[in-house]
Structure 1
Amino acid sequence: MNDLGELKQFAVAHARAQRLGDHARLLSRMHTDDGDAAGSWVAEWSRAGAELEKAGRLLDAAGHYNMARFPFVDGPARQAALERCVSCFGRWAGEHGIEQLELELGGGRVRCWTSGLSPTARQPLLLVCGGIVSIKEQWAPALPMLRRLGVAGVAVEMPGVGENTLGYHEDSWRMLPDLLDALAGQADVEQAYALALSFSGHLALRAAVSDRRIRGVVTVGAPVAEFFSDSSWQARLPRLTVDTLAHLAGAKTAELSRVLAPMALTRAQLASLDIPVAYTASERDEIIPAGEVRLLRETVRNLDVVTHDDVHGSPRHVAETRLWGALSVLRTRGSGGPRYLLLAAALRLLRARARFASSTRRGSPS
């Protein structure tokens, strides 16, 4: 079983990212992660998902089933939740111009959600990928917006996550060039960009070192080098993170340091990047060492960093991170125009409101 306290802690950022407004109420009902009995993690999320599915709110239902299978499938209950999540999302996606694509890459099956692919009108490609605990259905709702930005979009999972059957190891980054090869007839893969969150940001940076088709990387809280090489840091990681990484890598937790060590990016690799890299960091990140941002600042030539006073994933800054990510994608493409100006204005307004709220809290009597 997972540690229920950690489950509740780390679920908040993902629930907010999916706009699941009832997450606090549901979390208060849960007292175990044992199977799918009443009051368990899987049962409470799944029951809410079933009610939403019955009401025809398919995207919200998919989000709740997604949280039921969080952080990874470890048995029949979470497997059933994942299948119901994919089913609900697929029914919603069909009404919003999102299509499913299944590929065989590197000896495994990789299922994706796509938008804007066309053999006759190939557009620049944006790869969207979450981290070690988030599935493609969590991020694929953004695909219709990407069409309005003039790019084709593909939402994919990290190796070992969700429906991706590839293993997680030091060569996992090759999935991204393989994916570009597979999509060459349906998108302009010579102009590819990655919106790769958390651990997939590491894969995107490594892939960009070797594959010049990747023209920019936007990421949030990605490990780079120290996370993989510092066993003392790994010893302080939350159990949920360690267990998830071990699951993806097919390794015992005692072997994890040895498995992770070869994944560390070198200073030479990072210095070789001549593309825009945009990175959101959290000052109180309990998973990603602060030294990762320092290393990026010292090595990457074209780097844009925004920092939040928050924990991993910046759950208190979801709206700001979403806007900043969209702006960063446009920036890496060199795109301006009315949409860029509108998003920039919205981001300035959001930040101004946050500063005002912060100053009001500081000025209020205790």
Structure 2
Amino acid sequence: MNDLDELKRLVTGHTVVTEPDTGDGPVLARIVADAGDEPGSWPHEWIRAGEAYDAAGEPLAALQCYLRGRFPFVDGPGRKRAQTRAVEAFDRWRRGRGIEPEAVAVDGVDVRVWTTGLSRAEPRPLLVVVGGLQSPKELWAPILPRVADLGLAGVVAELPGVGENPLRYDWETPHRQLSAILDALADRARTAETYLLASGFAGHAAILAALRDPRIRGVVGNGPPVDTFFTDPVWQAQIPRSTRDTLAHLTRVPAEEVFEHLRDWPLGEDDLRSLTVPLAMVTARRDEIVPPFDFDRIRCATPELRLVEQDDVHGTPTRLAEVRAWSLREVLRMWPGADPADRARLDAEWAAVR
């Protein structure tokens, strides 16, 4: 059972990248229970709102509601129904926009991703986008047409255990999944020129992947844990309960044991110093999940770092347009073949939303 007040406080950051205004106040006011799928429950009311947007021909607004209905993770039939509706809504929206589904084999298990710009005849450099612990691929996939317009092939995936991903979230699987995606797309993208855009905990996996896979040429992240988050029990005691419970769900470890399970996950200073590709990072001054020391460790130990700090909480939910423009701008700064005109447009977009 989730803390309903906490969910209402945190869910506004769970927003599709196009940011339609869904007017959350009336929906939140109707919600009086976390579990179940009856009127007044968290999943039911978000699905009800999504269905209204679907009926009005606004699939992205519907998608946002369905994604919020499965937040923070699928724990019963109501949230499962919301998750299914989210995938269906995105599938309707993406048709005719150059976005295609793909199944990638990871350890013999098929993992679904969304792709764009793949071509055997004219392969492009690849941008892989992965959301955090509570971010199904449909949360980020609306960015794919923009990725294609910038001259890149794109793929949006989700961390193990999130959304439709059937794998278990552990130390090894997330970064091996990233390499498996590159293997699967090597005949239709220039995977030796791969860039990663990774939010939250996916940033931890992205750095690990960049340390092990020479095809990865740069990483852009937003608030990844690297060190103290995994080892400091005082800090762990104050993080949102929904984060702890999501970690327990994804790792398949009891909630009271999950932090002990994560104790060996830190990236050491030697790891960060040995990173040979560019790293660009968004940090939040009021991050309630990742401790400040983790950002200090990245800042001090990473040899090639570009950093922007936001006065916000984890995931920078109030600065999404700015963070999106800055992140794509940093990808183009890392990619030597980027069109200078595209770089200039993203520079201007970032300056405007700041």
Where does residue 8 of structure 2 map in the other structure? 8
Equivalent runs, 1:261-280 vs 2, <5 Å: 261-280=263-282
Contact 1:193–1:214 under 8 Å retained in 2: yes
**8 A Cα contact 1:103 1:110, kept in partner:** yes
Cα distance, 1:37–1:20 mapped onto 2, change above 3 Å: farther
Give 1:234's aligned residue: 236
1:17: Cα distance to partner?
Answer: 4.3
Q: Check the 8 A contact 1:222/1:288 in 2, yes or no.
A: yes
Structure 1 contact 98–114 (Cα < 8 Å) conserved: yes
1:221, distance to aligned residue in structure 2 (A) = 0.9
Q: How does 1:83-162 map to 2 (within 5 A)?
A: 83-162=84-163
Aligned twin of 1:339:
342
Structure 1 unaligned spans of 5+: 352-366
Q: CA–CA distance in 2 between the matches of 1:202 and 1:130?
A: 11
Aligned residues between the structures: 351
Task: Give the aligned partner of residue 202 of structure 1.
Answer: 204
Q: Please, which of 153, 177, 200 is the counterpart of residue 175 of structure 1?
A: 177
Q: CA deviation at 1:342?
A: 1.9
CA distance in 2, matches of 1:18, 1:348: 18
Give, as a single letter, the amino acid of the residue that structure 2 aligns with 1:14. Answer: H
Displacement after TM superposition at 1:207 (Å): 0.6
- Post-superposition offset of 1:18: 4.9
Secondary structure of 1:102 counterpart: strand
Aligned residues of 1:198 and 1:220 also touching (Cα < 8 A):
yes
TM-score normalised to the size of structure 2?
0.96
SS of 2:262's equivalent? helix
Q: Are the counterparts in 1 of residues 47 and 69 from structure 2 also a CA contact under 8 Å?
A: yes
Q: Distance in 2 between matches of 1:282 and 1:346?
A: 21
- Give me the identity figure in percent: 44
Q: How big is each residue's C-alpha offset from its partner over 1:196-251, in whole Å with a ceiling of 9 and x where there is no partner?
A: 00010110001101111111111111111111122222122110000000000000
Give the 3-state SS of the residue equivalent to 2:104 in structure 1. Answer: strand
In the TM superposition, residue 24 of structure 1 has moved relative to its aligned partner by 2.8
Deviations 1:284-308 (A, max 9, x none): 1000010111111111111011111
Residue 4 of structure 1 and its aligned partner are, at CA, apart by: 0.8
Distance 1:81 1:18 in 2: 19
Matches of 1:349 and 1:95, distance apart in 2: 30
Once the two structures are TM-superposed, the CA of residue 104 in structure 1 deviates from its matched residue by 2.1
Shift of residue 37, structure 1, vs aligned partner: 1.6
Paired with 2:10 and 2:312, the residues of 1 have a C-alpha distance of: 13
Of 12-21 and 184-193, the range deviating more from structure 2: 12-21
Structure 2 CA distance, aligned partners of 1:116 and 1:169?
30
Secondary structure of 1:161's aligned partner: coil
Q: Could you tell me which residue of structure 2 aligns to residue 221 of structure 1? A: 223
Q: Separation in 2 of the partners of 1:109 and 1:259?
A: 26
* 1:253-292 deviation per Cα after TM superposition (whole angstroms, max 9, x unaligned): 1221222122211111111111111110010100001011
Aligned residue among 322, 325, 330 for 1:323 = 325
- Counterparts of 1:241-252 in structure 2, within 5 Å, are 241-252=243-254
> Quick one: distance in 1 between partners of 2:349 and 2:125?
25
> Relative to structure 2, which stretch is displaced further, 15-24 or 250-259?
15-24
Q: Which amino acid aligns with 2:126?
A: L
- Cα distance, 1:336 vs structure 2: 5.2
Do the aligned residues in 2 keep the contact of 1:194 with 1:216 (CA within 8 Å)? yes
How far off its partner does 1:15 sit? 3.1
1:182/1:317 CA distance change after superposition, 3 Å: same
- Tell me, what secondary structure is at the counterpart of 2:239? coil
Q: CA deviation at 1:194?
A: 0.4
How far has the Cα of 1:95 moved from its partner? 2.2
The answer to which of 66-75 and 332-341 deviates more is: 332-341
What is the CA RMSD across the aligned residues, in angstroms?
1.4
> Where does residue 285 of structure 1 map in the other structure?
287
Residue-by-residue CA offset, 1:134-170 (whole Å, 9 max, x unaligned): 1100100110111111110000000000000111111
C-alpha separation in 1, matches of 2:52 and 2:122:
41
Q: How far apart, CA to CA, are the structure 2 residues paired with 1:142 and 1:97?
A: 12
Cα deviation code 1:19-41 (max 9, x no counterpart): 24212332222222121221221
User: Contact 2:196 / 2:206 at 8 angstroms: preserved in 1?
Assistant: yes
